[in-house]
């Protein structure tokens, strides 16, 4: 399967421009607009591996930097700025992947900002949200407050969570997902941390855990109406 990678500039109205990457296999069935986490940009090895892995499964990815990461500022953007970047990315992905199913979300902070944007006003054309480690709370401060906006989302959601994720105590996340009903799916990656890395003593490998994440994500995207 041939895969094309394009380095792009994404214009965010009234804000500026950021770098973006489209990884597009031939005849892609879908495009996943994938926002990065708070501490690493779109070129982080995790983001690269997910893009490569999904391309091998026939799914394109559109990655982009948030403005603070593009400008190498210390603190993440205010939500309104992050939401604007996500909306611009979704619009550009829709244009470049015309005819492909559109899914949005991403890693940690990026996934949460995407869900916030969707809760405020639906992202045009997006059929589902997929979270690669939803950051439900700060480390060692279990709470479900960050999930309150999810109730306002009508499209399907997939939560991919490691059972050792320090930012998503499953005893708090499971009730959240259950309350969301049929539109939400939780897939637990046994032994995985916030980035799905596993302990050596578990008998699993990081590669195996990531393969599980990618297989689950690709199957879920394929089943979206």
Report which of 121, 12, 110, 102 is spatially closest to residue 61, judged by C-alpha positions: 102
Buried b (16+ CB within 10 A) or exposed e, 121-160: eebebbebbbbbbbbbbeeeebebebbeebeebeebbbbb
Cα gap 49→196, rounded to integer Å: 12
Name the pTM for this structure.
0.96
Instruction: Enumerate domains of the chain plus CATH numbers.
Output: 3-223 (3.40.50.1820)
Model pLDDT, residue 74: 84
pLDDT above 90 covers a percentage of the chain that reads 97
pLDDT band at 41 (very low <50, low <70, confident <90, very high): very high
Phi, psi torsion values for 31, nearest 5 degrees: -130, 130
Model pLDDT, residue 57: 97
- Provide the β-strand partners of residue 130: 105, 158
Q: Is the C-alpha dihedral spanning 47, 7, 65, 177 positive or negative?
A: negative
Q: What is the pLDDT of residues 105-125, one digit of tens each?
A: 999 999 999 999 999 999 999
Model pLDDT, residue 65: 98
Checking if the pLDDT of 199 tops 90, the result is yes
């Amino acid at each position: 399967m041939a895969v094309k990678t394009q380095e792009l500039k994404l214009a965010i109205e009234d804000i500026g421009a950021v770098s973006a990457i489209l990884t597009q296999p031939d005849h892609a069935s879908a495009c996943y607009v994938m926002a990065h986490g708070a501490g690493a940009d779109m070129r982080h090895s995790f983001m690269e591996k997910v893009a490569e892995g999904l391309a091998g499964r026939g799914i394109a990815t559109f990655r982009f930097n948030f403005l603070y990461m593009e400008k190498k500022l210390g603190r993440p953007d205010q939500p309104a700025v992050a939401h604007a970047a996500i909306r611009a990315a979704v619009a550009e992905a829709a244009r470049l992947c015309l005819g492909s199913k559109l899914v949005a979300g991403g890693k940690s902070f990026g996934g949460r900002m995407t869900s916030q944007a969707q809760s405020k006003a639906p992202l045009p054309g997006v059929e589902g949200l997929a979270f690669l480690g939803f950051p439900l709370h700060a480390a060692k401060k279990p709470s479900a407050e960050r999930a309150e906006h999810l109730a306002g989302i009508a499209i399907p959601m997939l939560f991919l969570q490691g059972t050792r994720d320090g930012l998503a105590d499953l005893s708090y996340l499971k009730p959240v997902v259950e309350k969301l009903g049929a539109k939400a799916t939780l897939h637990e990656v046994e032994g995985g941390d916030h980035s799905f890395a596993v302990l050596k003593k578990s008998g699993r490998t990081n590669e195996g855990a990531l393969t599980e994440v990618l297989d689950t994500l690709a199957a879920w995207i394929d089943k979206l109406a």
